[in-house]
């Protein structure tokens, strides 16, 4: 019987020095099983009452210690102002956090078509850092679909400079119809 070995050590006292943590754990398990399954146990009833309670209290104590000593990451000092705005329901200040706001200049000039090409400094490549620009723009212009391939009639040009925009439009077959900044604008496909 696996269960009886550690019990014997504890009860006889002859090998008290050999009682290890694992064996004590074993006793705890055994007694808790006995309690839950109402099996007859060779341990004195005082132990049966005490050990599960002690085991539970030990675990509760550890839990309370963990909860009370938990630390949260540090925050920037301006967050209290923003938190108050959030709880006050001030939406406008948070609209400024949308990175898509840089595309607000395009909004009045967006074409009726639902599918538009998106031309930026480099051709589209998945997991390229520049992809985020496309994702940000897509979020702003939805429900229109931004196609990274230069195949649509109209294109949204969003390059870092006018020279780069010129080169990219030449390579993809577009001409500018509305300039909205340096390297930014709306272009149409050259037939």
Six token digits for residue 171: 């390579």
Q: Is 113 in the site for other proteins (CB under 8 A)?
A: no
- CA quadruple 20, 21, 24, 29: dihedral positive or negative? negative
Q: Is 126 in the site for other proteins (CB under 8 A)?
A: yes
Q: Is 162 in the site for other proteins (CB under 8 A)?
A: no
> Judged by CB, which is closer to other proteins: 13, or 89?
89
- 154 backbone dihedrals φ, ψ, rounded to 5°: -115, 145
Cα dihedral 138/139/142/144 (nearest 10): 0
Residue of the chain from 24, 41, 110, 124 that contacts other proteins (CB under 8 A): 124
∠ at Cα 183 (179, 186), nearest 5°? 40
Q: Is 80 in the site for other proteins (CB under 8 A)?
A: yes
Q: Is 85 in the site for other proteins (CB under 8 A)?
A: yes
Beta bridge partners of 147: 117
Omega of the bond prior to 56 within 30 degrees of 0, cis?
A: no
Interatomic CA distance for residues 111 and 104, integer angstroms: 14
Q: How far is the CB of 67 from other proteins (least distance, A)?
A: 5
Residue of the chain from 5, 11, 105, 142 that contacts other proteins (CB under 8 A): 142
Interatomic CA distance for residues 59 and 113, integer angstroms: 64
Q: Is 143 in the site for other proteins (CB under 8 A)?
A: yes
Binding site for other proteins (CB under 8 A): 26, 28-33, 35-37, 51-53, 55-56, 59-60, 63-64, 66-68, 70-73, 75-76, 78-80, 82-83, 85-87, 89, 91, 94-95, 97-99, 114-115, 124, 126-127, 131-132, 134-136, 138-139, 142-149
């Amino acid at each position: 019987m696996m269960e009886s070995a550690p019990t014997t050590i504890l009860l006889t006292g002859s090998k008290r020095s050999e009682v290890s943590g694992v064996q004590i754990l074993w006793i705890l398990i055994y007694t808790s099983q006995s309690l839950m399954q109402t099996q007859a146990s060779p341990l004195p009833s005082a132990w049966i009452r005490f050990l599960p309670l002690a085991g539970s209290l030990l675990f509760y104590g550890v839990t309370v210690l963990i909860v009370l000593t938990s630390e949260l990451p540090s925050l920037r000092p301006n967050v209290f102002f923003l938190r108050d705005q959030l709880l006050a329901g001030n939406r406008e200040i948070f609209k400024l956090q949308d990175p898509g706001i840089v595309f607000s200049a395009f909004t009045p000039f967006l074409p009726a078509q639902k599918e538009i090409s998106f031309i930026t400094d480099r051709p589209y490549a998945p997991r390229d850092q520049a992809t985020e620009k496309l994702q940000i723009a897509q979020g702003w212009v939805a429900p229109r679909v931004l196609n990274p391939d230069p195949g649509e009639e109209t294109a949204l040009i969003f390059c870092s400079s006018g020279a780069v925009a010129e080169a990219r439009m030449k390579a993809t077959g577009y001409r500018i119809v509305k300039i909205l900044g340096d390297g930014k604008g709306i272009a149409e496909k050259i037939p």
